[in-house]
């Protein structure tokens, strides 16, 4: 997405007296997939719609209760840290971050400050500062002149990942956020769904007239799609540029992204970190990671599945065209279809694998974009669809169906299920290898289409295509176009000779 708005900015910059260098740093939160909450036994269920059912005295901060660290959540952060080649802390601890708000029952959030679980690391070449573990806040709902609080979310384990201020443009920031989503899903660490609030992105944006100095940063919140990440950053660069150009000064503030108006708006001026009065959480033990056998670096490494960049490299080695690889990576359903073929085909069968990639990117993606998968796809279980898809791709490879026929069969399979061979038979889409039958059909066409024959013989190539088309029609789609072409050329040659 080459960002419509970023092009406008380039245009505007040309009219300006100065060049400005944008700097962007991201802070990304993600709810971790665990059975229970971060410090208690209440259920971690982001799909729960009834408010205040997944609560207990601990996450409701009743006096005298004690938190207990969720090991599953720690493990998620350590695996993320290992995947991004970060430094896993040996000593780590939790801290209290104090502030008052109705969505924070204790009056503080348990987070990490000086000793996060992970420091350093990199993703898509973007340097990562830290990855730490904290607890989510409750959800506030403001409606009908009232404010309501749902505590189901309070205490759900939350990852916070902070990048260095090294991003230079909106598109790269968007790409980074998408890659992180893919990584979190690959690791089964988070559903990372932006619309559900499982993943939340905050962008820090500044501009400077010097390459070697940072400008004052503005933090943008309430961004709820990847497209909005790009647009909010582009907007903010534009706003700050206009502000400075008109003699103004950027002030350090938190702004919100208004999706309807496509603008950022002032929310509050930034508080310094001292205001949170961070101090180590006295109710929790310190963590000495090296003392936990499952958390040695070797054990963590061994627990990682194939990572997104490793998967891309494998697809490249299978001969998949570069422009297809991203399309095959971006959606779980699409990826499952492709893996269904890639994992079951012999590695050397690049024809079969290439055909599968082709039909997935050009047909299944289109079918999915028609409507939501859940509504139209006949297969609730992608494994079942993988099987019939594999069978269809084999039929295509063996020339049993034409590419046109295959597209029709695929659409039918997608919507109503079934067996590709049976569908092909019923709809007369099986290609005939009966050469005598095909030759008879071709001869009929050549007799009927004297004008096209003359034109072809006079050198008009398009007429050959027409004759092939008519022959396919004559065979009711059963003829393979390549074979029909061969027969037409052969017959016309012998006619001349
Ligand atoms: P704070 O103390 O305000 O939280 P940090 O230094 O911890 O600031 O950085 C928070 C985020 O802001 C990080 O993602 C970082 O990359 C980013 N950031 C820091 N300085 C700048 C800057 N000048 N321009 C853009 N982003 C920045
Ligand atoms: Mg900070």
The domain of 418 spans 308-426
* Whether residue 422 sits in one domain with residue 439: no
* Whether residue 459 sits in one domain with residue 379: no
Residue 26 Cα to ligand 1 midpoint, Å, equals 8
* Whether residue 216 sits in one domain with residue 91: yes
Residue 74 lies in a domain: yes
Which residue has the CA at smallest separation from atom 4 of ligand 1?
273
Q: What is the CATH number of the domain that holds 464?
A: 1.10.10.410
* Whether residue 266 sits in one domain with residue 205: yes
* Whether residue 237 sits in one domain with residue 188: yes
Residue 337 Cα to ligand 1 midpoint, Å, equals 40
* Whether residue 233 sits in one domain with residue 207: yes
Residue 4 lies in a domain: no
* Whether residue 98 sits in one domain with residue 56: yes
Q: What atom in ligand 1 is closest to the CA of residue 27?
A: 14
Residue 3 lies in a domain: no
* Whether residue 320 sits in one domain with residue 262: no
Q: How many domains does the chain have?
A: 3
Residue 214 backbone zone (phi > 0: left; psi -120 to 50: alpha; other: beta)? beta
Out of 256, 288, 320, a domain closes at 288
* CA-wise closest residue to 305 among 429, 447, 188: 188
Per-residue pLDDT of the chain (497 residues; tens, 9 = 90+): 444 444 445 444 555 678 999 999 999 999 999 999 999 999 999 999 999 999 999 999 999 999 999 999 999 999 999 999 999 999 999 999 999 999 999 999 999 999 999 999 999 999 999 999 999 999 999 989 999 999 999 999 999 999 999 999 999 999 999 999 999 999 999 999 999 999 999 999 999 999 999 999 999 999 999 999 999 999 999 999 999 999 999 999 999 999 999 999 999 986 665 689 999 999 999 999 999 999 999 999 999 999 999 999 999 999 999 899 999 998 888 999 999 999 888 878 889 999 999 999 999 988 888 765 556 788 888 888 999 999 999 999 988 888 888 999 999 999 889 999 999 988 888 877 678 888 888 999 999 999 999 999 898 989 999 999 999 888 877 778 888 999 999 988 887 65
The 3-class SS string of 33-51 reads CCCECCCCCCECCCCCCCC
Residue 272 Cα to ligand 2 midpoint, Å, equals 9
* CA-wise closest residue to 173 among 231, 259, 241: 231
Mutate to test the pocket of ligand 1, among 22, 25, 134, 269 (most ligand atoms within 8 A of CB): 25
What per-residue confidence (pLDDT) applies to 16?
64
Residues near ligand 1 (Cβ within 6 A)? 23-27, 162-165, 204-206, 214, 217, 273
Residue 302 lies in a domain: no
* Whether residue 403 sits in one domain with residue 270: no
What per-residue confidence (pLDDT) applies to 7?
47
Residue 218 Cα to ligand 1 midpoint, Å, equals 9
Cβ pair 158, 133 in contact under 8 A:
yes
Written as six digits, the tokens of 41 are 């036994």
**DSSP readout, 76-105?**
HHHHHHHHTT-EEPSEE--EEEE---TT-T
Residue 79 lies in a domain: yes
Q: What atom in ligand 1 is closest to the CA of residue 206?
A: 24
Cβ pair 402, 429 in contact under 8 A:
yes
Residue 293 lies in a domain: no
* Whether residue 95 sits in one domain with residue 202: yes
Out of 378, 408, 426, a domain closes at 426
Residue 407 lies in a domain: yes
**Ligand nearest to C-alpha 233:** 1
From residue 23, give the alpha-carbon distance in Å to each of 137, 208, 209, 210, 242.
29, 8, 11, 11, 16
What per-residue confidence (pLDDT) applies to 3?
42
Residue 442 Cα to ligand 2 midpoint, Å, equals 75
Q: Taking the alpha carbons of 120, 164, 29, 105 in that order, is the dihedral positive or negative? A: positive
* Whether residue 354 sits in one domain with residue 284: no
Residue 204 Cα to ligand 1 midpoint, Å, equals 6
Residue 295 lies in a domain: no
* Whether residue 447 sits in one domain with residue 417: no
Out of 257, 288, 319, a domain closes at 288
Please list the residues that pair with 258 across neighbouring strands: 263
Q: What atom in ligand 1 is closest to the CA of residue 252?
A: 3
pTM, rounded to two decimals: 0.84
């Amino acid at each position: 997405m080459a960002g419509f708005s970023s092009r406008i900015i380039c245009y505007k910059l040309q009219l300006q007296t100065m060049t400005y260098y944008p700097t962007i740093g991201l802070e990304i939160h993600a709810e971790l997939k665990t059975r229970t909450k971060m410090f208690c036994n209440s259920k971690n269920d982001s799909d729960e719609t009834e408010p205040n059912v997944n609560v207990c005295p601990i996450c409701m901060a009743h006096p005298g209760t004690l938190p207990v660290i969720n090991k599953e959540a720690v493990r998620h952060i350590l695996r993320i840290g290992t995947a991004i080649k970060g430094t896993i802390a040996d000593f780590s601890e939790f801290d209290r971050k104090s502030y008052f708000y109705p969505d924070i029952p204790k009056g503080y959030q348990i987070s990490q400050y000086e000793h996060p679980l992970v420091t350093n690391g990199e993703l898509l070449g973007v340097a990562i500062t830290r990855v730490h573990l904290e607890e989510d806040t409750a959800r506030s709902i403001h409606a009908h002149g009232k404010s309501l609080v749902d505590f189901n979310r309070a205490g759900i384990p939350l990852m916070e990942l902070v990048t260095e201020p090294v991003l230079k443009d909106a598109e790269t920031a968007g790409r980074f956020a998408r890659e992180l989503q893919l990584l979190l899903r690959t690791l089964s660490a988070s559903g990372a769904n932006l619309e559900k609030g499982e993943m939340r992105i905050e962008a820090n944006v500044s501009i400077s007239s010097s390459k070697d100095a940072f400008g004052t940063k503005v933090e943008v919140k309430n961004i709820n799609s990847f497209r909005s990440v790009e647009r909010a950053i582009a907007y903010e660069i534009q706003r700050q540029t206009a502000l400075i150009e008109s003699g103004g000064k950027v002030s350090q503030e938190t702004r919100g992204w208004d999706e309807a108006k496509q603008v950022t708006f002032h929310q509050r001026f930034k508080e310094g970190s001292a205001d949170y009065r961070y101090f180590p959480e006295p109710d929790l033990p310190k963590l000495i990671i090296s003392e936990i056998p499952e958390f040695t670096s070797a054990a963590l490494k061994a627990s990682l599945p194939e990572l997104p960049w490793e998967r891309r490299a494998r697809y490249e080695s299978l001969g998949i065209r570069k422009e297809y690889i991203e399309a095959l990576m971006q959606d779980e359903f699409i990826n499952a279809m492709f893996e269904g073929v890639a994992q079951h085909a012999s590695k050397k069968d690049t024809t079969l694998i290439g055909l599968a990639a082709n039909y997935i990117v050009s047909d299944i993606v289109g079918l999915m974009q028609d409507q939501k998968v859940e509504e139209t796809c006949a297969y609730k279980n992608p494994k079942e669809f993988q099987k019939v898809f594999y069978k269809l791709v084999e039929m295509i490879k063996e020339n049993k169906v034409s590419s046109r026929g295959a597209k029709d069969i695929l659409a039918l399979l997608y919507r109503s299920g079934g067996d590709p061979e049976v569908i092909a038979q019923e709809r007369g889409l099986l290609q005939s290898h009966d050469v005598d039958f095909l030759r008879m059909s071709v001869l009929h066409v050549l007799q009927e289409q004297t004008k096209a024959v003359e034109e072809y013989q006079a050198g008009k190539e398009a007429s050959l295509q027409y004759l092939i088309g008519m022959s396919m029609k004559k065979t009711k789609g059963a003829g393979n176009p390549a074979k029909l072409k061969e027969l037409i050329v052969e017959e016309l040659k012998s006619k001349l000779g």
